[in-house]
Amino acid sequence: MPRHYLDHASTAPTRPEAIEAMYEWQKLSSGDPGRIHAEGMQARHALEEARSGVAALVGARTREVVFTSCATESIMAAIEGAAGRGHHMVVPAVEHSSVRLGAQRLADRGSHEVTIVGCNRDGRVEAETLLAAIRPDTALVNLQWGNHEVGTEQPLPEVAAACRTHDVLLHVDASQAVGHTKVDFASSGADLMSFSSHKFGGPTGVGVLLVRRGLRLDPLLVGDDRERARRAGFENVTGIIGLGAVCRSLQGARLVAEQDKQRALTGVLMEGVEPMAGIHVHGDRQHRLPHIACLGIEGIEPQAVLLALDQRGIACHSGSACSSEELQPSPVLEAMGVDAHRSLRVSVGWNTAEVDVEQLLDVLPAVVNQLRSLGS
């Protein structure tokens, strides 16, 4: 049975250019990029070439790119690094759990207060509400580029401009945006931006934190002066080279073409489920990431839907974005005021074909009807 992978928002299959670049590098005698012998300098050159590719894709200076192990580490580095600038943080309720729990840990220590900001039923945060939460002692405002469960994009330009006026740092979690839509760090107004390689076809084990030029942060990991003393620990050179290859391949027309294709595929899905009884689309239909669609399915537990689809060769996701063995209600959907227990997240990516979405639309009505009949 052919498989139809529709869970790119969790992780995307590694692109061939990344695999090839990593394979070619592993055939070499790799050295420590922190050393001045020939092998070390070769590794340093490869690392900096990859950094240039990443910077070019996201509109950043090379010196603003800090390599980490994953987006979660990047997020924690942003939160912990900014903590010393004040005793208060602003966190929308629809942020990824790493943002929410990272800020909450500061509150649990007693060093900070955290203001949670709500959203509308489409998952969009109102800029005025978010900005009203800023205080004189606010260290950091967090605002994701686009939501990881429903795809809703947030009002970044308005919030960034106001944060500059208030002289407050802004951290943007762009994990679901980079590699799927155009991201320009320089023009975004963000001070800090985090994302991960594996969300758009790069290798696992590599994350990025963009740090605005001139901004000084205390590093999360200490022990040496790697990454210009902003992140200690031996760099994942092989993975970073793979990420660099992907970023170089996405510059220009290819990213636009992939974005348009992904938006068209999720559009077909959203239109296709409209006639299906008891199934509706969550999220903002106008301000949305191109590759994510979230469906509310009335009256059926998500585990049953996921298992039935998997038996038919289709991989999707449901529930809290970082739940693994046990599906948990989605804090994002709870904040939106919709059913947080019964959802199906469908996410496409670089290698998704029309047949993958068509297969889901073909089998979903039968799956839902069968499960509803069993429950009646």
- Look at residues 298, 315, 221, 257 and name the one whose alpha carbon lies nearest to residue 1: 315
Render pLDDT for 215-263 as a digit per residue (tens, 0 to 9). 999 989 898 888 998 998 999 999 999 999 999 999 889 999 999 999 9
> Which pLDDT belongs to residue 373?
87
Contact assessment for residue 124 and residue 152, using Cβ atoms and an 8 Å cutoff:
yes
pTM of the shown model: 0.95
Q: Are 35 and 70 found together in one domain?
A: yes
Q: Are 229 and 264 found together in one domain?
A: no
- Please give the single-letter amino acid code of residue 188: S
> Which pLDDT belongs to residue 60?
98
Task: Supply the range of the domain harboring residue 363.
Answer: 4-13+253-375
Q: Number of structural domains, the chain?
A: 2
Q: Are 111 and 224 found together in one domain?
A: yes
Q: Are 315 and 197 found together in one domain?
A: no
Last residue of a domain, one of 234, 250, 266: 250
Last residue of a domain, one of 210, 227, 250: 250
> Which pLDDT belongs to residue 229?
86
- Cα radius of gyration (the chain): 21
Does 322 participate in catalysis according to the annotation?
A: yes
CA 10, CA 316: separation in Å to the nearest integer? 9
Q: Are 175 and 309 found together in one domain?
A: no
Q: Are 24 and 119 found together in one domain?
A: yes
Residues of the chain with pLDDT under 50: 321, 323-324
> Which pLDDT belongs to residue 1?
78
- CA 152 to chain CA centroid, Å, is 12
Q: Are 25 and 123 found together in one domain?
A: yes
Identify the CATH number of the domain in which residue 273 sits.
3.90.1150.10
Q: Are 194 and 269 found together in one domain?
A: no
Last residue of a domain, one of 250, 276, 296: 250
> Which pLDDT belongs to residue 375?
67
Q: Are 53 and 168 found together in one domain?
A: yes
Q: Are 101 and 115 found together in one domain?
A: yes
Identify the CATH number of the domain in which residue 150 sits.
3.40.640.10
> Which pLDDT belongs to residue 320?
53
Q: Are 29 and 94 found together in one domain?
A: yes
CA 7, CA 29: separation in Å to the nearest integer? 36
Q: Are 153 and 299 found together in one domain?
A: no
CA 348, CA 253: separation in Å to the nearest integer? 19
Exposure class string for 162-198: b at 16+ Cβ within 10 A, else e: bbeeeebbbbbbbbbbbbbbebebeebbbbbbbbbbb
Angle formed at CA 3 by CA 305 and CA 19, multiple of 5 degrees? 125
The one catalytic residue among 163, 247, 316, 322: 322
> Which pLDDT belongs to residue 319?
65
